[in-house]
Amino acid sequence: MIAGVFVGGRGSRMNNAAKGLLLIEGRTIIDRWRDMLESRSIPLVLVGVRIEYTTLGLPVVPDLVDNCGPMGGLAALLAAGGNEPVLVLGCDMPFVTTTMLDKLIAHSSKGAAVAPLVLGRWEPFFSRVPQTARGAVEHQLAGRQLSLQRLFSSLNAEPLGLDSAEEACLRDWDRPEDMCL
């Protein structure tokens, strides 16, 4: 299993900041992910290309198809994952806990993607996606159907059970005011 932190977005609502480099409790969000994953012996790659991340010394997986948003990144991450499932993680989620990550890794699904389902919407940036999803990803890319919600529904994804406090930890930093909450 490998984990991909998606960093390729423009961050336009965050004044073009590289959101994974934002600090929480003196550490970047990327460093939080790195620490959680290293302690579980799961390799971390950055998915997408932004020059701000080059100094981190982490492997980079560029989008397999340009201008397709995270769907192009997911195709690239699956290709890099060999025969193993991949963890899809957001670079702007500073509150995810180790307990939540352990639940995601250990979920007993035998094939379907796994992600939290919150208020009827999948959280694709905290998910586990099997290699069997590659065909569906490629099909959606070919048809320029770039919705991850649609993808997770088509995969018959299984909801990851989180309590309300854990669901609140999925809150991301999309705008500067999000950092104040």
CATH of domain 2-180: 3.90.550.10
7-10 long-range contacts, CB within 8 A, separation 24+: 7/46, 7/47, 7/48, 7/50, 7/53, 7/91, 8/47, 8/48, 8/49, 8/50, 8/63, 8/70, 8/73, 9/48, 9/70, 9/91
Mean pLDDT score of the chain: 90
Q: What is the amino acid identity at position 146?
A: L
Element (H, E) at 127: strand 126-129
Residue 18: band (very low, low, confident or very high) from pLDDT cuts 50, 70, 90 = confident
Given a cut of 70, whether residue 17 has pLDDT beyond it is no
The predicted-structure confidence for 96-112, as pLDDT tens digits, reads as follows 999 999 999 999 877 78
Give the Å distances, CA to CA, from 118 to 93, 154, 160, 169, 171.
15, 17, 10, 12, 11
Residues in the chain: 181
Given a cut of 80, whether residue 160 has pLDDT beyond it is yes
159 has pLDDT over 70: yes
pLDDT at 23: 86
Reply yes or no on whether the pLDDT at 43 is more than 90: yes
pLDDT at residue 22, as a whole number: 84
Domain ranges of the chain: 2-180
**Amino acid (one-letter) located at 126:** F
